[in-house]
Chain A
Amino acid sequence: MIWIAIRMLTGDAQKFYGLVFGIAFSTLLITQQLTIFVNLIERGASGTYNVSSADVWVMDPVSRTTDVNFPMPSTALDKVRGVTGVEWAVPHLRAGASVRTSEGDLEGVSVIGVDDATLIGLPKRMTVGSPDVLSQPDSVIIDDVGLTRMFEDGRSPIGERLELNDQRAVIRGVADAIPSFTSQVTLYTKYSQALRYVPGTRNRLSFVLVGAEHGVSPEELTRRIEEQTGLRARTRDEFAQDGVDFIIQNTGIPLNFGITVLLGFIVGVAIVGLTFSLFIRDNIKQFGALKAIGVTNGKIRKMVAAQAGLVGLIGYGLGVLGTVFFIWGFSGNPTFKGFYIPWQIPLISMAAVFVILALTGWLALRNVLKTEPASVFR
């Protein structure tokens, strides 16, 4: 009977493709939008991810994220170093600045000052040059997103002179970094140099980055640091989550994407529901005849489930494939740099497809199951 069900479905090519398209479109919309959403809000954690060697971030109690921070007095560094279980602790500066290129364009940038001695605070990989370039005078390293933003024509940035808050800066390397949520241009420089670039009061230490001694868990260490210094300490994972939460709470992004995902679902229910019930209605006489001949309601349900299953499988596959192609096609674009499809998302859209088909199949079937067999012979 399943064979007959499948032939009934594919025999009507127009409706079959309509159904597959509806499911594929819904899947694409849901999967693609959820993927962008998750990757976008994860950008809130990029500042933390870019400094993978720090186990613990220490900050002023009012600081919230890598970008929303309140500077501490430089004595904080020594206080943290005094806590047992701290293997190493280095200063880290993050501040906004404006930069003028030699062409005279103005750009808002974020300046990150990394530890002079260890260079902890730099992203792990460089695309051009090596971290050592920072020991040359006035050196800065630009991140690759900033590179495409400021040097659209593709010319080499190496040796380019910038005016950074009225100070001279020379680009001597390019870092391979995860872009920030706003895709702002980021310039890395030594901490001592950063203090010169970023004007300000006595307090300019944004964070103290800490490595835990072997055998001390980051959670335990944050507890000790908070107790002994009165500062706020977060493990890397906690602080990454703080960045994500900040974006969720302070932007309209979850709502907007939520609406699009819901639209995808509704469009799916509408297209698939309409086509599926049209298909069933067109075949109601055949289903009725099958019932009269001796096919039980249970078997008819299975037939419709097989039809829905086939449409769902093909449509879902195409939709997910479409998302993969989308992400892959845009992977060269810095806005989408590092985007991936978390494994939960295809499962979510699969569940959505299942609900769409179960719902519309059930609605369409009700008529079939209710018909008195004799009525189809009149």
Chain B
Amino acid sequence: MAETDIQAATTAKAAICSRGVTRDFKAGQQTITVLHGIDVDIRAGELTYVVGESGSGKTTLISIMCGILWPTEGEVKVFGTDIYDLSDTELVEFRLNNIGFIFQQYNLIPSIDAANNAAVPLIAQGMDRLEAREKAVAMLEKLNIGNQAGKLPSQLSGGQQQRVAIARALVHEPRLVVCDEPTAALDAASGRRVMDLLREVAVAEDRACIIVTHDNRVFDLADRILVLEDGRITHDGSEMPEGH
């Protein structure tokens, strides 16, 4: 049995392979390095948490992993595709078909209702609008806000808006789901419900889910926890390290 076969088998299981990922930002004259050569595999079939202090680079890392922020150096493979090797249009289409994300800013479209907002990825994929809307309403129902489907974002509370954003991230059943602080705006019960739903929808044989969180109420739900400190991974295990 050749070694390459074993390697191929492991990379197939890896939803994301990050190799030497570095990211610099220019702040005036200075260049600050936020990520220092991140090497990590995110496995399919697992719920992976990224935790760390504010400013440690969590948002930057997952943005690079989901194809919306270019690394300064290094490469990222998502389900075997070197995403930063794709052309702009190919990358956009790759995101549309494979990735869902929930960021702290929801950026919902103010003039269309919750269901249509949640249906955007399906509409962008070319699905008929009413059919897409129906699927979106079903997703909103799973998130317990089916009765808000016809409301405009401005008529919803912060937590409800977030659930619309979550529905939008999950509605097209992407293989990779990336979330930045999905439970920050929610009470404990809603937070657990969201996590359960993410696990249900986003964690499967060939799917993966990465969640950035500070929320120690939900740490027990993770399969794997990565701790980021100053742009380096300092802990990788199924539990939080001692002292956190």
Contacts and interface: CB of A to CB of B under 8 A. Distances in A.
Interface of A: 1, 3-4, 7-8, 10-12, 285-286, 288-299, 372-374, 376-378
Given A11-B112, A373-B68, A377-B63, A4 B120 contact: yes
A297 B89 contact: yes
Contact of B97 (A290, A291, A294): A294
Interface in B59-113: 59, 63, 68-70, 88-89, 92-97, 99, 101, 103-105, 107-112
B101 A292 contact: yes
B124 A295 contact: yes
Given A7-B111, A377-B63, A290 B124 contact: yes
A350 to B, nearest CB: 28
A1 B111 contact: no
A289 B112 contact: no
Interface residues of B, number: 33
A372 B69 contact: yes
A8 B89 CA distance: 23
Nearest to B109: A286
Contacts, number: 83
B40 interface: no
A374 B69 contact: yes
B78 to A, nearest CB: 13
Contacts of A7: 109, 111-112, 116
B123 interface: yes
Given A294-B124, A299-B124, A285 B111 contact: no
A376 B92 contact: no
B180 interface: yes
B68 A295 contact: no
B224 interface: no
B129 interface: yes
B168 interface: yes
B109 A378 contact: no
Contacts of B97: 294
B57 interface: no
* Minimum-distance CB pairs A-B, first 10: A11-B111, A294-B96, A289-B107, A377-B103, A374-B69, A373-B68, A374-B63, A374-B68, A294-B95, A285-B107
A291 B91 CA distance: 10
Contacts of A3: 123, 129
A351 to B, nearest CB: 31
A293 B121 contact: yes
B129 A377 contact: no
Contacts of B123: 1, 3-4
Given A297-B89, A374-B63, A377-B63, A4 B109 contact: yes
Contact of B93 (A12, A290, A294): A294
A378 B95 CA distance: 19
A372 B68 contact: yes
A3 B127 CA distance: 13
Given A4-B123, A378-B105, A372 B70 contact: yes
Given A294-B97, A296-B93, A288 B109 contact: no
A190 B168 CA distance: 87
Given A290-B120, A294-B121, 5 more contacts: A3-B123, A299-B124, A377-B68, A377-B107, A377-B180
Contacts of B105: 285, 376-378
Contacts of B92: 291, 294-297
Contact of A293 (B88, B89, B120): B120
B104 A377 contact: yes
Nearest to A13: B111
B35 to A, nearest CB: 13
A292 B124 contact: no
Contacts of B94: 294
Contacts of A286: 107-110
A7 B109 CA distance: 9
Contacts of A291: 92
17 contacts: A7-B111, A7-B112, A10-B111, A285-B105, A285-B107, A291-B92, A292-B101, A294-B125, A295-B124, A296-B93, A297-B88, A299-B124, A372-B68, A373-B68, A376-B105, A377-B63, A377-B104
Contacts of B124: 1, 290, 293-295, 299
A289 B129 CA distance: 19
B33 to A, nearest CB: 17
A4 B107 contact: no
A301 to B, nearest CB: 12
Contacts of B129: 3
A4 B96 contact: no
Contacts of B99: 294
B96 A376 contact: no
Nearest to A286: B109
Interface in B155-193: 168, 180
A296 B180 contact: no
Given A374-B63, A377-B63, A377-B103, A296 B89 contact: yes
Nearest to A283: B109
